[in-house]
Amino acid sequence: MAEFDHRIDYAKRLDKHDPLARYRAEFYTDNTGIYLDGNSLGLLSKRAEASLLDVLDSWKRYGIDGWTNGDNPWFYLSEKLGDQMAPIVGANPNEVIVTGSTTVNLHQLVSTFYQPNDRRTKILADELNFPSDIYALKSQLKLKGYDPSEHLVEVKSEDGHTLREEDIIAAMTDDIALIVLPGVLYRSGQVLDMELLTKEAHKRNIVIGFDLCHSVGSIVHELSAWDVDFAFWCNYKHLNGGPGSTGGLYVNQRHFGSEPGLAGWFSSRKDKQFDMDHELTAAEHAGAFQIGTPNLFSMAPIIGALSMFNEVGMEQIREKSLKLTSYFMQLIQAELAKFGLVIQNPIDDHKRGGHIYLEHPEAARICKALKAEGVIPDFRTPNGIRLAPVALYNTFEDVWNAVQILKDIMEEEKYKKYENKRGVVA
């Protein structure tokens, strides 16, 4: 095996031959240092800025007629963006809608698909999932009159970082009515085998859905081919839709015609909506699972942001992402292992999402030191450091420089000047 080349010249060569290198200029990177927090909030692109201004201008130009006039009529924008997002998640266009937020969409989908009966009353999740998903699931159980301590089953992790698919499958017992799992674990970045888990759930006649917040825009999905029942996600991480941008959801077309659990104004079929009938005629596609009027200015940046993904394709993005994280891990092992920084994300490409996850007892203060030195990481309590090199705007030289800065911080113990405590937002 050839010796690993850890010189900066090698990083520069990788960047020179990177087919996606030209997209870096599409983003505002000058004032963000070495930005490695794109799995929390992606950077602003010039296209996203332009599409936001375009929708703002349509309000100025058309007033109320902006609902049906202009390049992006507001009345149809959720569906238009759903069409554009469908290839990113491997779905049919009518199965995807841009609407709501992550937790609102989860409440909608659980309200629709959690149908307990005498035999099946429990919801299956996992103990490593993002807290807000668990909050929502507990809330839904209470609304149905069930005690979450008895009816929410959380699959345990053997190592505190990853889940075993065989443990999840073993938990698919006869009393499970619904399964909600992450596509990629937010902390360790583990990719779950969604195809396998869906197949096993359906063998047992269990409806299954996935939280794609940390996988959408980062890995390749084939939701329709895998026959996933539903999925939901945010658009402000890898998809660079902006802070608080409108979320997205997928519903398999097998379920079209299901009454939405939480019906609302925009659940309606477009041609019937303004009939003002008190009986809902639900849309005959994923649009039925919208609730209220779309937040236009939170959706507008997504128009520009998605255009790059559809130009490049998820296969190329995933290929570069894996190269970036692989290179990152090689540098960490060569330069940082001696300082007690431990890689806790999966090493294998097929199991690793779009970020690196390190652990160290002084993680909170190390993250503060990194920010002071111009590297933007993400701290996860109690001792985790997430580093996400994003394919469209990060470079191999970014990765090399970040490791050198972190090495200097550890060698000089610069982190000791900071309190080992997270900030209000972390």
Judgement on whether residues 297 and 386 belong to the same structural domain of the protein:
no
User: How high does pLDDT run on average in the chain?
Assistant: 97
pLDDT at site 286: 98
Statement: the pTM of the whole predicted model exceeds 0.85: yes
Q: Which of 276, 295, 312 is the last residue of a domain?
A: 312
Q: Which residue has the higher pLDDT, 400 or 422?
A: 400
Instruction: Give dist(CA 111, CA 130) in Å, integer.
Output: 19
Q: Is 68 annotated as a binding residue?
A: no
What band does 30 get if pLDDT is binned at 50, 70 and 90?
confident
C-alpha distances (whole Å) from 210 to each of 98, 116, 178, 394 are 16, 19, 11, 27
pLDDT at site 420: 86
Angle at 58 between CA 55 and CA 60, to 5 degrees: 120
Percent of the chain with pLDDT over 70: 99
Instruction: Give dist(CA 367, CA 384) in Å, integer.
Output: 9
Judgement on whether residues 213 and 302 belong to the same structural domain of the protein:
yes
CATH classification at residue 81:
3.40.640.10
Asked whether residue 206 is assigned to any structural domain, the reply reads: yes
Q: Is 271 annotated as a binding residue?
A: no
C-alpha distances (whole Å) from 263 to each of 137, 290, 314, 344 are 19, 8, 33, 42
Asked whether residue 256 is assigned to any structural domain, the reply reads: yes
Judgement on whether residues 21 and 54 belong to the same structural domain of the protein:
no
What token pair was written down for 168?
């999840």
pLDDT at site 426: 73
Asked whether residue 143 is assigned to any structural domain, the reply reads: yes
Judgement on whether residues 172 and 266 belong to the same structural domain of the protein:
yes
Sequence-distant (6+) residues with CB within 8 A of 53 are: none
Judgement on whether residues 137 and 247 belong to the same structural domain of the protein:
yes
Stretch 85-90: mean pLDDT: 98
Q: Which of 262, 277, 312 is the last residue of a domain?
A: 312
Q: Give the tens place of pLDDT for each residue, 171-225.
A: 999 999 999 999 999 999 999 999 999 999 999 999 999 999 999 999 999 999 9
Judgement on whether residues 186 and 258 belong to the same structural domain of the protein:
yes
Asked whether residue 423 is assigned to any structural domain, the reply reads: no
Asked whether residue 203 is assigned to any structural domain, the reply reads: yes
Q: Residue 341 above 60 pLDDT? A: yes
pLDDT at site 195: 98
Q: Is 255 annotated as a binding residue?
A: no
Asked whether residue 343 is assigned to any structural domain, the reply reads: yes
Taking the alpha carbons of 84, 354, 180, 264 in that order, is the dihedral positive or negative? negative
Q: Is 162 annotated as a binding residue?
A: no
Taking the alpha carbons of 200, 113, 213, 218 in that order, is the dihedral positive or negative? positive
Q: Is 103 annotated as a binding residue?
A: yes
Q: Which of 312, 347, 371 is the last residue of a domain?
A: 312
Q: Give the tens place of pLDDT for each residue, 99-123.
A: 999 999 999 999 999 999 999 999 9
pLDDT at site 2: 56
Q: Residue 338 above 60 pLDDT? A: yes
Asked whether residue 424 is assigned to any structural domain, the reply reads: no
Q: Residue 229 above 90 pLDDT? A: yes
Q: Is 114 annotated as a binding residue?
A: no
Judgement on whether residues 190 and 241 belong to the same structural domain of the protein:
yes
Judgement on whether residues 299 and 362 belong to the same structural domain of the protein:
no
Judgement on whether residues 308 and 321 belong to the same structural domain of the protein:
no
Judgement on whether residues 24 and 139 belong to the same structural domain of the protein:
no
Q: Residue 165 above 80 pLDDT? A: yes
Judgement on whether residues 165 and 267 belong to the same structural domain of the protein:
yes
Asked whether residue 284 is assigned to any structural domain, the reply reads: yes
pLDDT at site 32: 83
What domain count does the chain have?
Answer: 2
Sequence-distant (6+) residues with CB within 8 A of 214 are: 39, 182, 183, 184, 185, 186, 189, 237, 238, 353, 354, 355
Q: Give the tens place of pLDDT for each residue, 378-389.
A: 999 999 999 999
Stretch 338-343: mean pLDDT: 97
Give the structural domain span for 337.
Answer: 8-31+315-417
Instruction: Give dist(CA 190, CA 214) in Å, integer.
Output: 10
Q: Is 132 annotated as a binding residue?
A: yes
What band does 1 get if pLDDT is binned at 50, 70 and 90?
very low
Judgement on whether residues 159 and 284 belong to the same structural domain of the protein:
yes
